Amino acid sequence: EIVMTQSPATLSVSPGERATLSCRASQSVSNNLAWYQQKPGQAPRLLIYGASTRATDIPATFSGSGSGTEFTLTISSLQSEDFAVYYCQQYIKWPSFGQGTKLEIK
């Protein structure tokens, strides 16, 4: 089983600033890495796949980077609607998720 570890657990950022979320895999997943956003009471939404490709209708303020075992999701110029929980997930094998990073308003 590939274990995904996200950091930090909670990130406090002011609107308009940049947020950087990290995800580490216990073994290489190449670029088979996705990021999801989940808001309260909603299903998760795919943001990024292939480590760096934005999904349909995802704004350019979201960007992903990394390969192998280290990945980053960057959200530039945070808007109020961006405050949510973010999960990374590998899919080189049957999927596994990180524990999530809660992005909250500072």
Residues of this chain that interact with another protein (CB under 8 A) are 1, 32, 34, 36, 38, 43-46, 49-50, 53, 55, 85, 87, 89, 91, 94-100
Task: Report in angstroms how near the CB of residue 6 gets to another protein at its nearest.
Answer: 9
Interatomic CA distance for residues 28 and 30, integer angstroms: 6
Task: Report in angstroms how near the CB of residue 16 gets to another protein at its nearest.
Answer: 28
As given in the structure block, the two tokens for residue 44 are 């998760």
Task: Report in angstroms how near the CB of residue 48 gets to another protein at its nearest.
Answer: 8
Contact (CB, 8 A) for 52 and 65: yes
Residue type, 1: E
